[in-house]
Structure 1
């Protein structure tokens, strides 16, 4: 049993079930991110943990105590909203300590908690201001301070950075990560931004259409996606998913793909579990960084396979150059070093790290496991 357990939980509105048998066990101090596109059920699940949404079936428990039906104020959770939800007529100090005051915490304790949190979040100089006098990032810090000051069992974050500009989002992401590293608090964090999910979490639950598609560490989600949806949702640019045929030669399986001229090229798999798929169609998954020029290939890999193909487009992006080619009728993106000498229209020697390749069953779109 974990610190926070979500056991076989469903959510229905009338006959429409929008969350389907969700099972997640979260350990104390863990940072779990619920990620997925709009409408996948992540905010609904967060609302159920908070007590803002009812549970249709199953149980949610914190420290072994089932909290189904328990009023939000009795759950010892704190929530940071997308909209910050600050009281405009109160000062920063009043916003942060209002919840403590409502729970009857004596003023000396409130003042000490306020001082500690303000110092931690570096908002000491803002305590006498009102929300209307603050920037978006400052308001977000105040909202976090209001949650931190209560010392709850679980922190819930509902897309807290989505209203900030790109640079501030990166800065606040770092601050949240540093806070978690320092305080070791238990956090459930909702976002549709897969970069936030990858950088912040200790584990990720990828959601789609009310189902948990995959639950794992950022590395597990990125390197061994459970299905095509996870593969293409997590990562920027997304994983390349290429129609291919398995061809077994001398006991080793190869992925047969067609280059821009329609000629067959064979990419040897590192694992032999695909020999049973000889002659069958698959979907070949390769991350852009696993396709590069020979000099930029991973020196630790035991299986760098050459691929000659025509370059369609090059996109310089500062530290990287993204190169597009066509394989089996699909645009495929390679990630090159910034100084790679590659041009549109060129016949180019690519290097493919097949240690990083995964294969999917085209009928189910599930990963073919070793």
Structure 2
């Protein structure tokens, strides 16, 4: 039993089921991120936890108390919205303490709570201003302050950073992470941004078409994706997924891939169980950082395979250089050092870390497990 339990929950609108048997147990103090493309059901699920959406079947419980049908105001949750939802005619201080006032909390307690939260969020110098006088980042801090001041069991964040510019999003990500480390409260956070999901969470639920595709730590999601969808959705650039064929040589399985010029090359797997797929087609998954130049290869890896192929294009990106080559009829991206000496049209000897490679069944698109 977790602190927040979502048990076999579904959501339907008439005959259309949009969330399908969702099971997630969230421990106290955990930071769970629901991530997925638009329309995958993540905000609907958050709304069901908050009580803003009804539950068609299943149960949601907080601290072993089933909250199906319980009014949102009685759930002891606090929600931070994408749109901030601040009252424009109230000061920052009044916005933060409005909920406490509505619940009959005495003014001295409200004032102390405001002071504590405003200092924590570094907005104590803004409490007399109106929302219209604040920047986007300051408004988001006020919205967070309004949630924090209530001392809830669970914080719910619905894409809180999507209205901010790129630099401010990075800054606010850091602030939210520091806040969670300090408060150790339970957070459920919705985003479509996989970088936010990877950097903020203790666990991630990757969603698509109303289903949980995978639930795990950021490392589990990134290194061992459950299927092709998770592999290509999580990561920037995404995991390279190319068609290949398993060929066994001297008892060891290899991935036979087609190079840009139509010739073939063998890449030795580090997963012996793939020998059972001898002669069969697979989808080979390799992260861009697992393909580099020989000098930049991971010195700890026991399985660096050389692959000579022609470079299509290079893209300098400051700290990295992204290099594109053709493999299996697909464009494959390698992530290399900024100072690597490489140009489009070169025949280059790539170093592929096959310890990081994963294989997928092309029919089901599920990862082939050891």
TM category, shorter: over 0.9
Aligned partner of residue 17 in structure 1, secondary structure: strand
Q: Which residue of 2 aligns with 1:269?
A: 269
Cα deviation code 1:110-149 (max 9, x no counterpart): 1110000000000011000000110000000000000000
* TM-score normalised according to structure 2 size: 1.00
Matched, 1:142 2:149: no
Distance 1:339 1:241 in 2: 26
Q: How does 1:146-225 map to 2 (within 5 A)?
A: 146-225=146-225
Matched, 1:228 2:236: no
Distance 2:258 2:46 in 1: 45
Cα deviation code 1:136-183 (max 9, x no counterpart): 000000000000000000000000000000000000000000000000
Which segments of structure 1 move beyond 2 Å, counting only runs of 4 or more? none
Distance 1:157 1:261 in 2: 49
Q: Which residue of 2 aligns with 1:124?
A: 124
Matched, 1:247 2:254: no
Q: How does 1:319-330 map to 2 (within 5 A)?
A: 319-330=319-330
Q: Which residue of 2 aligns with 1:74?
A: 74
CA-CA distance at 1:328 after TM superposition: 1.1
Cα deviation code 1:304-329 (max 9, x no counterpart): 00000000000000000000000111
Distance 2:156 2:256 in 1: 47
Q: Which residue of 1 aligns with 2:28?
A: 28
Q: Which residue of 2 aligns with 1:338?
A: 338
Distance 1:144 1:298 in 2: 41
Q: Which residue of 2 aligns with 1:96?
A: 96
Q: Which residue of 2 aligns with 1:308?
A: 308
Distance 2:356 2:289 in 1: 10
Matched, 1:317 2:343: no
Distance 2:366 2:345 in 1: 35
Report the aligned-residue RMSD. Answer: 0.3
Distance 2:29 2:260 in 1: 50
CA-CA distance at 1:271 after TM superposition: 1.2
Aligned partner of residue 83 in structure 1, secondary structure: coil
Structure 2 unaligned blocks of 5 or more: none
Distance 2:46 2:258 in 1: 45
Q: Which residue of 2 aligns with 1:58?
A: 58
CA-CA distance at 1:58 after TM superposition: 0.1
Aligned partner of residue 125 in structure 1, secondary structure: coil
Q: Which residue of 2 aligns with 1:360?
A: 360
Distance 1:66 1:121 in 2: 32
Aligned partner of residue 302 in structure 2, secondary structure: coil
Distance 2:26 2:107 in 1: 34
Distance 1:155 1:125 in 2: 25
Aligned partner of residue 88 in structure 2, secondary structure: coil
Aligned partner of residue 270 in structure 2, secondary structure: coil
Structure 1 unaligned blocks of 5 or more: none
Distance 2:366 2:118 in 1: 48
Distance 1:183 1:328 in 2: 49
